[in-house]
Chains A and B, each alone.
Chain A
Amino acid sequence: MMETLKEHLREEEFLINMGPQHPSTHGVLRLVLRMEGEFIRELTPHVGYLHRSIEKIAENRTYNQFMPYTDRIDYCASMPSNLAWAVAVEKLGGIEVPERAEYLRVIMVELNRIASHLIWLGTMSLDLGAVTPFLYAFREREWVLDLFEMTCGQRLTYHYIRIGGVSRDIPPEFEKSCREFIKDFRHKVDDYEAILTENPIFLGRTKGIGILPLDLAENLGASGPTIRGSNYAWDIRKAEPYSIYNRINFDIPTGKNGDVWDRYMVRIQEFRQSCRIIEQALDGLPQSDTVRSKLPAVLRLPAGEVFSRIEAPRGEMGYYIVSDGEKKPYRVKIRTASYGNLQCLAPMAIGLKIADLVAIFGSIDVILPEVDR
Chain B
Amino acid sequence: MTKEEIINRFKGKFGSDIEVVENNQPEPYLYISAARYQELCEFAKNDPQLDFDFLFQLAGVHYPDSRFEVVLCLSSHRKIHKAVIKVKLDKDNPATVSVSDFWATSAWFEREAMELFGIKFANHPDPRPLLLYEDWDYGYPMRKGWTGPDFIPMPEK
Do chains A and B make direct contact within the complex (CB under 8 angstroms)? yes
A residues in contact (CB < 8 Å) with B: 47-48, 51, 53, 55-56, 60, 91, 218-221, 232, 234, 239-240, 304-307, 309, 316, 318, 320, 322, 330-331, 333, 335, 339-340, 343, 372
Q: Are the C-beta atoms of B141 and A307 separated by less than 8 Å?
A: no
A48 is contacted by which of B25, B71, B107, B133 (Cβ under 8 Å)? B133
Besides A219-B104, A305-B21, A305-B25, 6 new A-B residue pairs in contact (Cβ under 8 A), listed by A number: A55-B142, A219-B105, A221-B104, A307-B73, A335-B73, A372-B131
Chain B residues contacting A307 (CB-CB under 8 Å) are 25, 27, 56, 73, 82, 84
A166 to chain B, nearest CB (A): 25
Q: What is the minimal beta-carbon distance from A328 to any residue of chain B, in angstroms?
A: 11
Say if the beta carbon of B41 comes within 8 Å of chain A: no
B132 and A331 form a contact (CB under 8 A)? no
Q: Is the C-beta of B108 less than 8 angstroms from some C-beta in chain A?
A: yes
Contacts A48-B132, A51-B131; A240 near B80 (Cβ below 8 A):
yes
With A48-B131, A218-B77, A240-B80 as contacts: A335 and B23 at CB distance below 8 Å: no
CB proximity of B96 to chain A, nearest CB, Å: 17
Within 8 A of A (CB), among B120-144: 129-133, 141-142
Query: Per a CB cutoff under 8 Å, which of B56, B130, B131, B133 touches A335?
Result: B56
Report the nearest A residue to B84, measured CB to CB: A307
- On chain A, the residues within 8 Å of B142 by CB distance are 55-56
Question: What is the CA–CA distance of A232 and B54 in the complex, to the nearest angstrom?
Answer: 14
Give the dominant DSSP class at A's interface: mixed
Q: Are A333 and B59 in contact (CB under 8 A)?
A: yes
Q: Does B19 contact A (CB under 8 A)?
A: no
Chain B contact residues: over half helix, strand or loop, or mixed?
Answer: loop
Which residues of A lie under 8 Å from residue B12 when comparing CB positions?
Answer: none
Determine if A60 and B132 form an interchain contact, defined as CB atoms under 8 angstroms apart.
no
Contacts known (A221-B54, A343-B104); A320 close to B59, Cβ less than 8 A: yes
Indicate if the CB atoms of B104 and A320 lie closer than 8 Å: no
> A239 to B84, alpha carbons, bound, how many Å?
18
By the criterion CB–CB under 8 Å, are B27 and A48 in contact? no
29 A-B Cβ contacts within 8 A? A47-B130, A48-B130, A48-B131, A51-B131, A53-B141, A56-B142, A218-B53, A218-B77, A220-B104, A221-B56, A232-B77, A234-B77, A240-B80, A304-B23, A304-B25, A305-B21, A305-B25, A307-B25, A307-B56, A307-B82, A316-B56, A331-B61, A331-B62, A335-B56, A335-B57, A335-B73, A339-B108, A343-B105, A343-B107
From B25, B29, B53, residue with most partner A Cβ within 10 Å: B25
Contact across chains for B131 and A47 when beta carbons are under 8 A apart: yes
Contact B108 A51 (CB under 8 A): no
Residues of B within 8 A of A48 (CB): 129-133
A305–B56 CB distance below 8 A:
no
Nearest Cβ on chain A to B34's Cβ, whole angstroms = 19
B53's nearest neighbour on chain A, judged by CB, is: A218
CB distance from A137 to the nearest CB of B (A): 31
Which chain B residue shows the least CB distance to A342? Answer: B108
**A343/B59 in contact, CB under 8 A:** no
